A and B are shown apart, each in its own frame.
Chain A
Amino acid sequence: MATRTQRRSAPRSQRRFRMRPTTILAYTLLALGTTVMVFPFLWMVLSAFKDAREIFRFNFWPTQWMLANFREVLFDTDFPRWFFNSLLVAVATTASVLFFCSLVGYTLTRLRFPGRTLIFILILATLMIPTEMLVIPWFVISADFGWVNSYWGIAFPGLIPAFGVFLMRQFFETLPRDLFDAARVDGINEFGLFWYIGLPLVRPALAALGIFAFIGNWNAFLWPLIIAKSPDMRTLPVGVALFSGEAGTAWHLIMATNAMAIVPVLIVFFVFQRHIIEGIVLTGTKG
């Protein structure tokens, strides 16, 4: 590999010159894509400011910036309660996901033990069954254990998602083994290795996982719908579903609710995304 790259060597000055057009090209391409990516999102947010009739017209900007939809959702529905429930479940689940998925992912790559591959395949296999089919057995279990209509009941299916385990496993796999062996010599126990050496090195992946776990639970619909029986246990997506009925759909309220529901997700994204970049830069290469 190294020899091949060597052959294609070019003088340093020329390389620095070439960096500039690349950067310009990157900005141009990204700017072009921006429209496609952000337009529907903006449309959704702007629609939240239009009334029940204007929302179906084609003007991009609202003729009048109406706050009536937000007011109706905030004061005439259980929105605050839905919001609280969703937040509680999403935060608790995300914490569980970050801890357990990284622990399992770490164990499956960094530790050697009989049955490692089998356990990995078994966990991965749980990804291959659509959750739509699991709601019936889950509900039977929940009824037996009294989990119906409880936060634990809403949260349990998402506590250790297999995709998170898989993600962390793949990222731990990229780490050099020597590092852990060296620390092991120092007499740190295995949990210490995971906690003090493994985790800091996969911070970008943890940040990504945190974003996905939060969004996944924030948007979960079918199971929270089935397990929550009373109105005060409804989560946001379940609440939003109440706006569509037999004789029509209140799109202006759906859009207003969604526009408000997106705020915590954006906050989570901005908080975590910093770590996607900073993780390794701090710990890895400055030494």
Chain B
Amino acid sequence: MGLGDGLKAITQLPYLGGSQVQTKRGQEQIGARPRRFKLTLATREALWAYAFLLIPLIFYLFLRIWPAFQAFWLSLFSWHVDPAQREFLGAGYYRDMLADSKLHRALTNTLLYAAIIVPAQLVLGLGIALLLNVVTVFRPLFRAIYFAPYVTPAAAVAWVWGWMYSENFGIINNFLIEWSIFWEERGLPWLVIDPQPFLGDPDQALFAVAVVVVWKQLGFQVVIFLAGLQGIPRMYYDAAKIDGANSWSLFRYVTLPLLNPVMAFSVIISTIYALQLFDEVVNINFTDQGGPLNSTLTIALYMYQEAFARFRLGYAAAVVVLLFVLIMIVTLVQLRFFSKRVEY
């Protein structure tokens, strides 16, 4: 390798507080950086950066961004197999979207999903990761159990939850019935809860699906936060403990600030996921995709139906543009929020 022991020594250097968190021991131990070749260094750094990014950028431009523009471009035309026969509509589809009540329903549903799923995943994901960090016995087993839903294929998840939610056979309603009998016998009839239709009811279906999404995606969040928690050098905690901090202040003043970049990732990714919610909704609403009276319909699912069940790919592309703009705005706001909270 030729890098020698010097490198090894550096790799094994302890973490040093630096600019991130000021602990008492975080004094600068590494000497001043040489700034003499600043210009050449900066150019060199940039050249390295572009070299590293060359293949990925070709990939993104050619296989991600260019196809996206093609999809956007489609939204200006009526769809036809033969590109020469696609009729230019300009903003036609965008005008149609304004009057499309099914799309409006999908939009409201999607925002509601995001409003439920994102906070629930953040709180539960972080909470479970913290708990998993405490336990030492059966640790891998516990982790596997909390990760199990994430590895279960979507069709199987939908099938099992469909049965659990079933009005006439589901175990949730079995429990409600037992519960009601228990309280009725004890003369407390106001505690009785009737069996619920869950997925079969337009007012409950969206929440029932959201529960499944949170349940299934939780493993993802837990793993992210576990990795994030491991990234916090133990010495920060040790230092704070020497100062006599209790667990809450450790969490509030060490864990949370240091987890900020990871939380930014978690929140932004789960928001993007929620706004593009598709798999769970397709699989779980059995009677008709999109739920009774479109109660679980999402924008992504609506787009998919328009494209592949109705062959209206131009209109579907316009819906994609809408979804893209929506997600872009939300993400930029979130990025700004998280980058403001901690300055490096």
The answer on a CB contact under 8 Å between B144 and A284 is: no
Q: Which residues of A contact B17 (CB under 8 A)?
A: 176
Q: Which residues of A contact B188 (CB under 8 A)?
A: none
* Contact pattern, B 27-44, Cβ under 8 Å of A = 1, otherwise 0: 010100110000000101
Dominant SS among interface residues on chain A = helix
* Contact pattern, A 257-287, Cβ under 8 Å of B = 1, otherwise 0: 0100110011001100110110111011111
The answer on a CB contact under 8 Å between B33 and A185 is: yes
Residues A170 and B328 in contact in the complex (CB < 8 Å), given A33-B146, A119-B57, A179-B10:
no
How far apart are the CA atoms of A111 and B51 in the complex, in Å?
Answer: 12
Q: Which residue of A lies closest to B72 (CB)?
A: A129
- State which of A136, A174, A219, A274 has its C-beta within 8 Å of the C-beta of B71: A136
How far apart are the CA atoms of A122 and B15 in the complex, in Å?
Answer: 32
Q: Which residues of B contact A283 (CB under 8 A)?
A: 11-12
Q: Which residue of A lies closest to B313 (CB)?
A: A136
The answer on a CB contact under 8 Å between B261 and A8 is: no
The answer on a CB contact under 8 Å between B151 and A215 is: yes
The answer on a CB contact under 8 Å between B161 and A40 is: yes
User: Does A229 have its Cβ within 8 Å of any Cβ on chain B?
Assistant: no
How far apart are the CA atoms of A77 and B157 in the complex, in Å?
Answer: 23
The answer on a CB contact under 8 Å between B3 and A196 is: yes
Q: Which residue of A lies closest to B268 (CB)?
A: A166
Q: Which residues of A contact B150 (CB under 8 A)?
A: 215
The answer on a CB contact under 8 Å between B45 and A9 is: no
How far apart are the CA atoms of A44 and B160 in the complex, in Å?
Answer: 7
How far apart are A93's CB and chain B's nearest CB, in angstroms? Answer: 13
Q: Which residues of A contact B74 (CB under 8 A)?
A: 136
List residues 200-255 of chain A with CB under 8 A from any CB of chain B: 200, 202, 204-205, 207-208, 211-212, 215, 219, 237, 240, 251, 254-255
How far apart are the CA atoms of A166 and B265 in the complex, in Å?
Answer: 7
User: Does B50 have its Cβ within 8 Å of any Cβ on chain A?
Assistant: yes
The answer on a CB contact under 8 Å between B230 and A6 is: no
Residues A285 and B14 in contact in the complex (CB < 8 Å), given A133-B317, A170-B261:
yes
User: Does A146 have its Cβ within 8 Å of any Cβ on chain B?
Assistant: no
Q: Which residues of B contact A27 (CB under 8 A)?
A: 135
Q: Which residues of B contact A196 (CB under 8 A)?
A: 3, 7, 11
Give B residues with C-beta under 8 Å from A. Answer: 3, 6-7, 10-24, 28, 30, 33-34, 42, 44-46, 48-50, 52-53, 55-57, 59-60, 62-68, 70-71, 74, 128, 131-132, 134-135, 139-140, 142-157, 159-161, 163-164, 169, 171, 215, 218, 220, 223-224, 226-228, 230-235, 240-241, 243-247, 249-250, 253, 257-258, 261-262, 264-265, 268-269, 272, 276, 278, 300, 303-304, 307, 313, 316-317, 320, 323-324, 327-328, 331, 344
Other 17 A-B pairs with CB < 8 A, given A1-B257, A119-B57, A170-B264: A4-B249, A10-B244, A26-B134, A30-B131, A113-B49, A128-B327, A133-B307, A137-B67, A160-B59, A174-B20, A179-B15, A186-B6, A205-B227, A219-B153, A265-B151, A273-B140, A285-B15
Give A residues with C-beta under 8 Å from B. Answer: 1-2, 4-6, 8-10, 15, 18, 22-23, 26-27, 29-30, 33-34, 36-38, 40-41, 43-44, 47, 58, 100, 103-104, 106-107, 111-114, 116, 119, 122-130, 132-134, 136-138, 140-141, 156-157, 159-160, 162-163, 165-167, 170-171, 173-174, 176-179, 181-183, 185-186, 188-192, 194, 196-197, 200, 202, 204-205, 207-208, 211-212, 215, 219, 237, 240, 251, 254-255, 258, 261-262, 265-266, 269-270, 273-274, 276-277, 279-281, 283-287
13 examples of A-B residue contacts, CB within 8 angstroms: A2-B240, A34-B145, A37-B145, A40-B152, A40-B161, A104-B56, A126-B64, A129-B71, A182-B10, A186-B10, A215-B151, A284-B14, A287-B12
